Chain A
Amino acid sequence: SQQGEEDPQALSIQEGENATMNCSYKTSINNLQWYRQNSGRGLVHLILIRSNEREKHSGRLRVTLDTSKKSSSLLITASRAADTASYFCATYGNNRLAFGKGNQVVVIP
């Protein structure tokens, strides 16, 4: 099955610092997506990177994809307290998403 595995599991940083999370998966994919979940809320789609793309930017987010290593990274630059959340990578294939366990990111004001 396609499953993302994020690393590290928990990250605590100061406001203004950058946060980097990694994700690995096991099989071929159509695309890889990152989602954020704030406490008690649903998952919010952040960014999608297709299998033929290597890097993508969206605002303060930068995602990379290395299909040869079956890995992806999400970088949040100039973090804010509002970025405190759980972040999940998910691989898309066979019309479904396969999620990793998630990273808990805490941004200290």
Chain B
Amino acid sequence: EAGVTQFPSHSVIEKGQTVTLRCDPISGHDNLYWYRRVMGKEIKFLLHFVKESKQDESGMPNNRFLAERTGGTYSTLKVQPAELEDSGVYFCASSQLLAGGEQFFGPGTRLTVL
């Protein structure tokens, strides 16, 4: 069974540009999460989808971040326009609806904003 995949693995962009990160969860997993780790800080929750619906986006830092999960399959996270403080590693995770908390993580996308 394929795990959670993320694309790209690395992205280097300039301040003001737009970047879109993609996450493909494990097939059949209704829950999809985005987390972020900024350098030197802990991994922080960004948002949670159940199928195509946003259940909780309280962790999104500001309105420059937009997440979608059309059709309840893969998800995208767009940052527009990117700022220097957006640099970090963005993780996606998925879980079954009644998994009780265990989440399966992708390898992450390392975003560098110059």
Which A residues are closer than 8 A to B by beta carbons?
3, 30-31, 33, 35, 40-45, 48, 88, 90, 92, 94-102
Contact = CB atoms under 8 A, between A and B. Distances in A.
Contacts of B59: 96
A95 B105 CA distance: 15
Contacts of A94: 56
B93 to A, nearest CB: 8
Contacts of B76: none
B72 interface: no
Contact of A97 (B3, B4, B100, B101): B101
B104 to A, nearest CB: 7
Nearest to A6: B42
Contact of B91 (A42, A95, A100): A42
User: A88, A92, A95, A100: which has the most chain B beta carbons within 10 Å?
Assistant: A95
Contacts of A90: 43
